[in-house]
Amino acid sequence: MRRPPIGDGAGRGTEMLDIKFIRENADAIRKAVAEKKAALDVDRLLAADEKRRRQQQAVEELRKRRNELSKAIPNLPSERKREAVEEVKRLKEELDCSEKDLAAVQAEFDELMLWVPNIPAPGVPRGDGERDNVELRRWGESRKFEFKPKDHVELAESLGLVNFEGPRRFAGGRSYALVGAGAMLELAILNFAMKTLVVRGFVPVLPPVLVRERAMIGSGWLPYGREESFRIERDELYLAGTSEVSLVSLHCDEILSDAELPKRYAGWSVCFRREAGAHGKDTRGLYRLHQFHKVEQVIIGRNDDAETERLHMEILSNAEAILQAIGIPYRVVLACTAEMGMGQVRKHEIESWMPSRNSYSETHSCSTLGEFQARRLNLRYRTSDGRLLFCHTLNNTAIASPRILIPILENFQNADGSVTVPQVLREYMGGIEKLEPVRRR
């Protein structure tokens, strides 16, 4: 199977894979559709493509005949001019109809192309669900308590870190407010993560979270995640579910230079997700919420698979370094095909140890998307030898809060109900070393 040709259709910005590649590798696309459980009929896409090409040819032929005849009219004998003018008028009407037919089939083709999944990279495990993810390594030891531990909700409430009831009265379910030391702890975690990335060469960005549909489609959040996205219909804007949406869109329609790649961005933003597919799931506490804060790593790199894989491991190691510095036990798993997003060619997850769940649970997701986002966003670069190539994009969570508060509170709790503040966070907490229950203050 050959790699898709680079640069074809670069100005359109609606495709994940080049259509020529899809025609020549239809079975590989069908396999990816099945493995990722994608909502795409490949045969329908190919039929729409064939119809589109036939209609394009018909339009071009009509346009050519009309133009040739129009150009010839001034030189025709007078007795032929009237006949020619009538024929040009007829051709124009026929062309208008053909162009409308082309627009309709083009719209169908463009919509179907948005549902084409990326092909998983070699080495990605095939599987039907989370149980088929492959564990690669663990760091740290899960804590063995000499007392009956509390879960994060009990701890957060007894420590006065969170208010659930008030926000849920005026903001609805899955709402919360971090207060006092809870707000300080979240800011400490986010600031520590941002500082870690800046030291490692990432440019900090506070991006917009209100974005147009172009950014949602370009980043791959639409059409797949439409049910998970908040839309402000009056202004035709969306609330982004991650700063990745804005960061990969920063250079849409640009041609970057080879010398300025890779670009490393650390985006800090509030994130919004409807959690429509999680009805009744993880409703207790801080695990699955509509609104949260996240520091996200995004890299825009060269179209080089080997370099992209190295960058993938770089941002994965950054996230691990943050967890290790805080002292949270975790494991790294390689996601199977069914657990990958439509645009991902490779995905690792980091799962932090959460004592109350007696399991490792996802807190980070590290993804390589190849050209998937760059093609949609028309994001290219010029190589040193003058070629125009689509960029590769990657992303990974650096830290997301308040979900990360779960393993921090639960793993660092003490028998007296207090929670020890991890050493690396204390400078961001004004030197506070321990969070004490409210009744003891």
| CATH number (domain holding residue 220) | 3.30.930.10
Kindly state whether residue 286 falls inside one of the protein's structural domains.
Answer: yes
Task: Check if 169 is active-site.
Answer: no
Kindly state whether residue 321 falls inside one of the protein's structural domains.
Answer: yes
What pLDDT score does 3 carry? 39
Same domain, 141 and 104: no
Domain count, the chain: 2
Give the CATH number, domain containing residue 71: 1.10.287
What pLDDT score does 141 carry? 95
Same domain, 296 and 149: yes
Task: Check if 362 is active-site.
Answer: yes
How many angstroms separate the CA atoms of 17 and 36, rounded?
16
Kindly state whether residue 230 falls inside one of the protein's structural domains.
Answer: yes
What pLDDT score does 87 carry? 86
Same domain, 232 and 83: no
Same domain, 141 and 106: no
Which of 296, 362, 371, 410 is labelled catalytic?
362
Kindly state whether residue 32 falls inside one of the protein's structural domains.
Answer: no
* Among 210, 242, 209, CA closest to 225: 242
Same domain, 135 and 95: no
Kindly state whether residue 22 falls inside one of the protein's structural domains.
Answer: no
Domain range for 217 is: 130-440
Domain-terminating residue out of 86, 113, 140: 113
Kindly state whether residue 16 falls inside one of the protein's structural domains.
Answer: no
What are the φ/ψ torsions at residue 342 (nearest 5 degrees)? Answer: -60, -30
What pLDDT score does 68 carry? 86
What pLDDT score does 85 carry? 86
Task: Check if 403 is active-site.
Answer: yes
Alpha-carbon distances, residue 127 vs 296, 298, 336 (angstroms): 27, 27, 5
Task: Name the stretches of the chain with pLDDT < 50.
Answer: 1-15, 440-441
Place of tokens 């997003």: 341
Kindly state whether residue 124 falls inside one of the protein's structural domains.
Answer: no
* Among 425, 150, 148, CA closest to 285: 150
Same domain, 74 and 218: no
CA 162-163-165 angle, to 5 degrees, is: 150
Same domain, 73 and 144: no
Same domain, 97 and 136: no
Same domain, 105 and 163: no
Which of 66, 264, 273, 376 is labelled catalytic?
273
Domain-terminating residue out of 113, 146, 163: 113
pTM greater than 0.95 (yes/no): no
Which of 138, 212, 274, 288 is labelled catalytic?
288
Same domain, 71 and 169: no
Kindly state whether residue 74 falls inside one of the protein's structural domains.
Answer: yes
Same domain, 210 and 72: no
Residue type present at position 310: R
Residue type present at position 130: E
Which of 229, 352, 365, 418 is labelled catalytic?
365
What pLDDT score does 277 carry? 59
Same domain, 56 and 169: no
* Among 378, 423, 406, CA closest to 176: 406
Domain-terminating residue out of 60, 85, 113: 113
